Each structure stands twice: as structure tokens, then as C-alpha cells.
Amino acid sequence: MSFDERRFRDALGQFPTGVAIITALTPAGDKLGMTVSSFNSLSLDPPLILFSIYCKALSFAAWQKVDHYAVNILSEDQQDLSNRFARAKGEKWDGIESVSGKTGVPILPDAVVTFECEAFGRHDGGDHEIFVGKVIALHENKRQRGQSLVFFGGQYRQLRAHGAHNVPKDSNLQGWSSDWEGLG
Ligand SMILES: Cc1cc2nc3c(=O)[nH]c(=O)nc-3n(C[C@H](O)[C@H](O)[C@H](O)COP(=O)(O)O)c2cc1C
């Protein structure tokens, strides 16, 4: 390998992502929650998403056992929540309001959008495991649309208004371009 881990991490940090908190209920009824930036879309039909969890995370074994979970996409005013759910164990849920999704998973009501999923598959991802979820319900918070929190270069960032440009209309881009002008 011609690079060390620090350089690899820095290079990866050049790819901006959003920030999500994955939430679930253990079979014993305890709430799980973890901040992730590894969320991504996977398939439209069937509707699949993915994220990855570090195998040495304290809650890793608990995540492997849940049948359902939710992916809550954070807004730019939820940085404190992101930090709280990135702390190892701790009292992540103390004083945090949640509502129950269709399947009983705890959902963060102020998230931009929440993907409620049933566990679809888990795959080897080196020191992480890739979790694939089948989306069974969407919980949209129209008030927060366009205000998603961004993570880039190891820092939280905000989307800039007037920084949006349309993707050209082209048949090869089916579905990737959008007429949405939410950011102006
Ligand atoms: C912005 C951000 C993104 C993160 N993304 C991930 C991720 O994709 N996968 C992961 O395993 N940990 C990720 N983490 C770290 C976990 O949130 C952190 O290790 C957490 O303490 C794990 O929970 P646990 O200790 O209760 O298992 C991220 C942390 C931050 C601040």
C-alpha cells in the first residue's frame, strides 16, 4: 500500500455526504441509535438503501439482531444530535423525543426524512459490515426539506442557497436529474 490510514481517511473526506442517525428497537425493547455518514441509495425496485457499521462498535452485535430499523436524515440544526449519537454507548436517548414508526422503530420527528426499513441483507465490508435495508415507509418532514446537514473534510457544513445547478436533461440520467428548485 502506498498510503497510510490518515491519508486514506483524508482522501475519503473529500467526498461530501449527508449525516443520518440509524435507530432501532432491540428484541428486549431498548432503543439503539448511531450516527452514520455511510448511508446511500442502492435500488429503486425493490427500494433498497445501505449503510455500514464498524465491526468494533459497541452496539455492533445489537444491530446485527434487529429486523427493522430507521434511517433519519439530519437537518443542519441537528449537529448536537449527530454528536450525541456518535458517542460510544452513553445515554444517547436521554431526553430525546421519538415517535413510533409503522413497525415500532423509534423515529426522530425533526429529521428531514426518515426511511423506515426491514433488514434485507448484511455483507462483508472489511472492518465494517454493510447493512442493506428494504424501505417500507417514508416519513417526510416538508418543513426541513433542503436543509440537510452535510459532512465534508471531517466537518459539518451547510448547503449554500443559490448554489444549485440543474443536471442536464438526458435520457441516460433517468431519475438522477430533478426539477426541484428548493435551494433557489
Ligand atoms: C459524522 C459522523 C459519521 C459517522 N459515520 C459512521 C458510519 O458510517 N459507520 C460507523 O460505524 N460509525 C460511524 N460514525 C461513528 C459512530 O457514530 C460512533 O462510533 C458511535 O459511537 C457508535 O455507537 P456505539 O458506540 O453505541 O456502538 C460516525 C460518526 C460521525 C460523527
Task: Report which of 144, 181, 140 is spatially closest to residue 161, judged by C-alpha positions.
Answer: 181
pLDDT in tens, 52-109: 999 999 999 999 999 999 999 999 999 999 999 999 877 899 999 999 999 999 999 9
Contact yes or no for 48/135 (Cβ under 8 A) = yes
- C-alpha cell at position 178: 430533478
- C-alpha cell at position 102: 409503522
pLDDT in tens, 14-24: 999 999 999 99
Q: Please count the CA atoms within 13 angstroms of the CA of 99 that sit on its side-chain side.
A: 10
- Pocket test of ligand 1: the residue of 26, 32, 34 to mutate, having most ligand atoms within 8 Å of its CB, is 34
Residue 141: per-residue pLDDT: 93
pLDDT score of 184 more than 60: no
- C-alpha cell at position 144: 426541513
- C-alpha cell at position 81: 444530535
Kindly report the pTM of this predicted structure. Answer: 0.96
Nearest atom in ligand 1 to the alpha carbon of residue 85 is: 17
Residue ranges per structural domain of the chain:
5-173
Residue 138: per-residue pLDDT: 98
Nearest atom in ligand 1 to the alpha carbon of residue 83 is: 31
pLDDT in tens, 145-174: 889 999 999 999 999 888 888 888 876 777
pLDDT in tens, 104-153: 999 999 999 999 999 999 999 999 999 999 999 999 999 888 899 999 99
Q: Which three-class secondary structure string do you get for the chain?
A: CCCCHHHHHHHHCCCCEECEEEEEECCCCCEEEEEECCCEEEECCCCEEEEEEECCCCCHHHHHHCCEEEEEECECCCHHHHHHCCCCCCCCCCCCCCEECCCCCEECCCCCEEEEEEEEEEEEECCEEEEEEEEEEEEECHHHCCCEEEEECCEEEECCCCCCCCCCCCHHHCCCCCCCCCCC
Residue nearest (by alpha carbon) to ligand 1 atom 16: 86
Please report, as a single letter, which amino acid is at residue 94. D
Q: Distance between CA 81 and CA 23 in Å, rounded?
A: 13
By percentage, how much of the chain surpasses pLDDT 90?
81
* Superfamily of structural domain 5-173: Electron Transport, Fmn-binding Protein; Chain A (2.30.110.10)
Residue 33: per-residue pLDDT: 98
- Expressed in angstroms and rounded, the spacing between residue 93 Cα and the centre of ligand 1 is 15
Residues contacting ligand 1 via CB (< 6 Å)? 19, 34-38, 51-54, 57-59, 82, 86-89, 151
pLDDT score of 181 more than 70: no
